[in-house]
Amino acid sequence: MFKLYQKLLLALLMAIPCYTSAQVINTPSGDGLSKAEYAAVLASEVTAFYYNKRWQNGFDAAQKAITVDSLSYSRNVNWDMAGTCRFMVKDYPGAVNDLSHFTVLKSQDLTRMLNAVEYKAKSHIALGQLVEAAQTYELWDATYGHNTTGPQNAAVLYKGAGNKRRFDQLIAIALRRCKHELDSINAKSKNPQDALNYAELLIIAGKPVQSIEVLEKDPAHYSRTQLSIKKYLIAVANDITGRKPFALLNKELKDWIYNNTLVNIWDFTMFDRWITYSGLAKSKQQELREFQDIIEDKYQ
């Protein structure tokens, strides 16, 4: 009989960096292990490799487990962790399959669920499946809703897929929710982050002038770290409207950023997708990414 302490010992060994995947993956299923037990151990090692960011090892353990006893593997694996390992080694179809198993579970662990949604969407994008990626964010919104994550990301992807009607619908929802946070919640917290999020959405919605108006309101509320993103978004909006030449905007942003040691870390993923699908000229897209590079170079 394969005792519990043996399983725990094996899991502990797998967490040690010098213990290689081959030592487990090539272990015979004999010596007291049934195929079902061996597959279950391999499934647990996928989790260990995930936490150690050893993506290839996690992928290899999953593949081996499936060949040993796919049913036992399915019953014991953490689908989101297996799917992440697959994404990291560019097995995008496999990642979609595994992460789909997890997202339908409607987990109460919101961090794990959002990570699964993000990697599933990225896998669809890598496969050229923009609609499926958008639907992944819509599933998140239908389940957990009440924020801008789902509609804003889905909107950008529908724009890339050429569905302007759905883009307009979803970006309107995202703007309405973000404005609510800005007007009601932020009225008490005075958190400029809400203004930055709203300004970014306004640019995506094709309203750069309104974005500048939002950003120039209540300047005293911005911390020095948040000011870096405020100035970045103003530069982007001004470049899109053509109010100032790119060379001047680029110089102004560089001068300010490089003279200030604190720069707020900003997630450019969604906005970068929007740039790609925006319909702007390639030269204009390049200009917007150069603004982004100025910020990223500072805090990397």
Mean pLDDT on 135-161? 91
Mean pLDDT on 218-242? 85
Q: Which of 82, 78, 77, 89 is closest to 40 using CA atoms?
A: 77
pLDDT digits (tens, 9 = 90+) for 160-182: 999 999 999 999 999 999 998 88
Q: pLDDT grade, residue 228 (50/70/90)?
A: confident
Cα 227 from Cα 220, distance rounded (Å):
10
Q: pLDDT grade, residue 186 (50/70/90)?
A: low
Asked whether residue 299 carries a pLDDT value surpassing 70, the answer given is no
| Sequential DSSP letters for 82-98 | HHHHHHHTT-HHHHHHH
Asked whether residue 66 carries a pLDDT value surpassing 90, the answer given is yes
Higher-pLDDT residue of 57, 21: 57
According to the model, what pLDDT value does residue 18 have? 40
Q: pLDDT grade, residue 9 (50/70/90)?
A: very low
Asked whether residue 7 carries a pLDDT value surpassing 60, the answer given is no
Q: Model pTM?
A: 0.85
Least confident of 81-90, 219-228, 288-297: 219-228
Asked whether residue 31 carries a pLDDT value surpassing 90, the answer given is no
According to the model, what pLDDT value does residue 2 have? 44
According to the model, what pLDDT value does residue 300 have? 53
φ, ψ dihedrals at 125, nearest 5° = -60, -45
pLDDT digits (tens, 9 = 90+) for 83-128: 999 999 999 999 999 999 998 877 778 889 989 999 999 999 999 9
Least confident of 3-12, 166-175, 218-227: 3-12
φ, ψ dihedrals at 163, nearest 5° = -100, 85
Least confident of 32-41, 129-138, 220-229: 220-229
Name, in order, each residue with C-beta under 8 angstroms of 125's C-beta and a sequence gap of 6 or more: 133, 157, 273
Q: What percent of the chain has pLDDT over 70?
A: 84
Q: Which of 49, 38, 111, 139 is closest to 86 using CA atoms?
A: 49
Higher-pLDDT residue of 198, 24: 198
According to the model, what pLDDT value does residue 184 have? 77
C-beta of residue 288 within 8 angstroms of C-beta of residue 236: yes
Asked whether residue 81 carries a pLDDT value surpassing 90, the answer given is yes
Asked whether residue 139 carries a pLDDT value surpassing 70, the answer given is yes
Instruction: Give me Rg for the CA atoms of the chain.
Output: 23
